Structures are given as structure tokens and as C-alpha cells.
Structure 1
Amino acid sequence: MDETSQKKLEQVEQSVRSHTKKRDRSASEERLLEAAEEVFAKLGFKGATTRMIADKAKVNESLIGRYFDGKMGLLISLIEKHVETEKYPMCELGYPPQATVRAELTKFIEAMYSKHCQKDKEFFKIVLSQSLTDPKFLKRLRNIIPKKMNPLLHERLLELQKKGKFAHDVDVDTYMQTLDTYFHGAMLFDKILMGAEEGEVDKMLHFVIDIYVRAVERP
């Protein structure tokens, strides 16, 4: 084998090793995130230890520090995962655009809050608790959570406004911010703090939707 062929072979082998290493790291990170979510949900953030999480994920405990910079980094990464993936889909709504404001907001509530927020109730408890007791965590959290309710919903309401289905004298941004404040309040206060049943929260959310729709919807 000449020198050129030898170099090419070494480059291929290096590429394979690099790909395998990245794949192994990705798999370890995913196992750690899944394990952390389960342990956090069961014991809370303070009660969970990196040893418990590593044992459940079946990886070396040192990888938590190497990949996530510790337990706090794991929780931050979990929140990012919730924001970026199907658990909190900001890049898609999962249903087609609706012809009216009422239909659009009703579908949005069913897709985003009634299903996803109910599913992730225990995780929200952990995030809320840590936010109230750890200023450093809260600061990092504010850099992660979406600043808008949902960009696609915003676009759809603007389109309905252009079509004359949404009052032209109402600012869509302010309208959505008001809705967002109530919806998150219902989730955090009524559902998590007060322990309201899922059906009760859903009923209140739809009641509020009815009021907000009457204020802006045009035939």
C-alpha cells in the first residue's frame, strides 16, 4: 500500500471512529435525559442525585458532568427538549388552519394545553418549584422558554384579521399575551397548586375562550 492509500485509509478510519463516538454520546445523552426525567418526577430535583440518574441510565456518573455540567444542566437540557420537541411543539400545531377565531383557539387549546400540559404535569411541578427557590435557575430558564405564545398561532390570527374574521382595531400581540397569561395561570395555579381535575381546567379554558372570542370575532 502506497503512502497516499495509507493516508486515505487512516482518514476513513478516523471518520468512522468520530461518527461512532458521536453516536455513542448521543445515545448516552438520551438515556440520561430519560432517566433524569423519571427520577426528577419521582423524587423532585433536590431529592434526585446524579448517582441515581446514572444508575438508571446505565452509564458512568462522570458523563453527567461531562455532557451536561451537572444535575442543573440536566434539568435545563430537559426543558430545552420539552420546548424543541413534540412535547411543546412551537414549530407545528398539528392541525390545519381554521376558518374562524373560535375554531382556531379551540383547536389550539385542545392540542397544546389540554393534552401536552396534562401529560407533563409532574415535570411542570419540578420546573415551578425550582424557579421559586433558585434565582440562578430562573435566570437560565428565562433564556429558554418561548417569548411568544406560539408563532404559528400568531400568524394564523393575523391571517384571520386580514380576512375580516378578527377585529381590525384589536392588536393581535396584546391579545395573545393576555391569553397566554391566563392559560399558563390556569395550568400553574388551578391544576398544579390547587389540584383541579383535568375536566375542570378544560371547562374553564373553554369558557375563557368563549369570552375572548366574542370580543374579537367578526362574522
Structure 2
Amino acid sequence: MSEQRVKRDPEGTRRRILEAAKEQFTKLGLAGARVDAIAIAAGTNERMLYYYFTSKEGLYVAVLEAMYLQFAEQEGHSDLSGLRPPDAIRELARSIWTHLRENPQWLSLVNNENLHEGRYLDRSNKLRETISPVVDLVRVTLERGAAAGEFRPDIDPLDFYVTLVGMGYYVVSNRFTIAAFTGRNYAERRHEESISAMHVDMLLAYLRPVLPGADNRPTTRPI
């Protein structure tokens, strides 16, 4: 691709670099990915890659930011206002878990960044902004449920969101080792549907309001 054409289509060039980098980082991680291979796959040159992203590490952070943003935009813009609060939680959970299953590249990148103890994502000044719409959606849904008497009123929306995501994340990100260890493949539709239904029931059971005179706090037993 000529440099003149690259200059005429800066957004297209940037997008192609991000897509090519996503493939490289998913397969090889940050250490194994090569700048020259990314540039070739994107149909550009290394100079343009450094022009847009400064460094390989900068490109790696940009790829993670883009994938988190895609996830947050999809979930944060969901319209749950017409659903009863329990149905809204069920719909949101299913949507998030489906996104995790359908985007294994994102899981690979997140797992890789956890090996780096999150230090590259910590450089991002955009990342934490992306989570706000999703957590706000959870907060509004929890508040609607509490106002209707269907949910308890003391739920932290961020804690609940992290718990919800974690349920689906573990099953997908560890599907191969779970299958090897237990003999059950949660990538199969029947097993995926069964454990997702269990997870939803667990979430909704936790959200139910405490009955008068009852105490549903966990009991701590001496070890």
C-alpha cells in the first residue's frame, strides 16, 4: 500500500493496524508479537505503526482499550428499562456471557495482561471510563428492583457486576482445563445452558430481599 494512500485514509490504516495487532497479540502475547509482522498484515509499514501508537507497548494498550470499549458499548447501551428487574438481570447476564463465549480473542488478551499483572492497562487513561455505562446500567436495575420490593437494597453495583462477569468468565476462559480435569466440556451447548441457568438462579437468589425476622447473612464457622 502506498504511503500516499495511507495518508488519505488515516482511520482505515489505524483500524487495520489494530486488527492485525489483535491477531498477533492473541496468538503470541506482547513479548512474541513482532512489529514488522503486524505492519505487513496491516498493509502498511513500521513507521506508520510508530506514528499512530508510539511503540509496540502503546499498540498493545490500544488493542486492549478498543476491545474493552467494544464490550462496554454493547452492554452499556442495552435497553433493559422495559423488563422486570429480575428479567433485566437475566438478560444482562446472558448477554455478557454470550459476548465472552463469542470473543475468545478478548479472553486471551485479558489473560495475557494478567500475566503482566495489569501494568500495561494501568497506563491507560481511558479504560476506567469505559466501565461506567455498564455499572450504571447494573445500578439502575438494582435500584428498580429494590424500589419494587424484588431486590434487597444493599447491593454494591460494582461488586455485583464483577461477580456476574466472573461467573461467565471462568467457565469460558478455563474451558479446556475444566474439560481435561472433569471430563465435561462447557463449550457444548447443553452444558453451557445448564450452568448459565444455575448461575442466573444463584444471582437472583442473592438479590432477593430479606424476609422480616430472617437473616440471610453467611454464617462463619470456626475452622
- Normalising to structure 2: TM-score of the pair? 0.71
Equivalents in 2 of 1:211, 1:142: separation in Å?
A: 35
Contact 2:80 2:88 in 1 (8 A): no
Gaps of at least 5 residues in structure 1 are 1-19
Q: State whether structure 2 residue 144 is matched by structure 1 residue 144.
A: no
Instruction: Say which SS state the counterpart of residue 9 (structure 2) adopts.
Output: helix
Contact 2:142 2:151 in 1 (8 A): yes
Larger-Rg structure: 1
Equivalents in 1 of 2:95, 2:168: separation in Å?
A: 16
Gaps of at least 5 residues in structure 2 are 179-185, 210-223
Q: State whether structure 2 residue 161 is matched by structure 1 residue 191.
A: no
Alignment-derived partner of residue 51 in structure 1: 36
Alignment-derived partner of residue 104 in structure 2: 121
Superposed, 1:1-219 pairs within 5 Å as 24-85=9-70, 89-93=74-78, 97-101=82-86, 103-114=87-98, 116-133=99-116, 136-140=119-123, 144-145=127-128, 150-167=135-152, 170-173=153-156, 177-181=159-163, 183-184=165-166, 186-187=168-169, 189-195=170-176, 196=178, 197-198=186-187, 199=189, 200-217=191-208
Equivalents in 2 of 1:132, 1:76: separation in Å?
A: 14
- Normalising to structure 1: TM-score of the pair? 0.72
Contact 2:25 2:109 in 1 (8 A): yes
Equivalents in 2 of 1:212, 1:185: separation in Å?
A: 10
After superposition, give the CA deviation of every residue in 1:146-168 in whole Å (9 maximum; x if it has no partner): 5565311221221222222223x
Q: Which amino acid aligns with 2:92?
A: F
Contact 1:82 1:88 in 2 (8 A): no
Equivalents in 2 of 1:58, 1:155: separation in Å?
A: 45
CA RMSD of superposed structures (Å) = 3.0
Equivalents in 2 of 1:140, 1:185: separation in Å?
A: 27
Deviation of 1:86 after TM superposition, in Å, equals 5.5
Deviation of 1:79 after TM superposition, in Å, equals 1.8
Deviation of 1:201 after TM superposition, in Å, equals 4.8
Percent identity over the alignment is: 20
Instruction: Say which SS state the counterpart of residue 89 (structure 1) adopts.
Output: helix
Q: Which amino acid aligns with 2:139?
A: H
Equivalents in 2 of 1:177, 1:33: separation in Å?
A: 31
Q: Which amino acid aligns with 1:119?
A: E
Deviation of 1:143 after TM superposition, in Å, equals 6.4
Deviation of 1:52 after TM superposition, in Å, equals 0.5
Contact 1:83 1:89 in 2 (8 A): no
Equivalents in 1 of 2:155, 2:7: separation in Å?
A: 44
After superposition, give the CA deviation of every residue in 1:4-27 in whole Å (9 maximum; x if it has no partner): xxxxxxxxxxxxxxxx99862211
Deviation of 1:95 after TM superposition, in Å, equals 5.3
Change in CA separation of 1:166 and 1:135 when aligned onto 2, cut-off 3 Å: closer
Matched residue count = 193
Equivalents in 2 of 1:135, 1:156: separation in Å?
A: 30
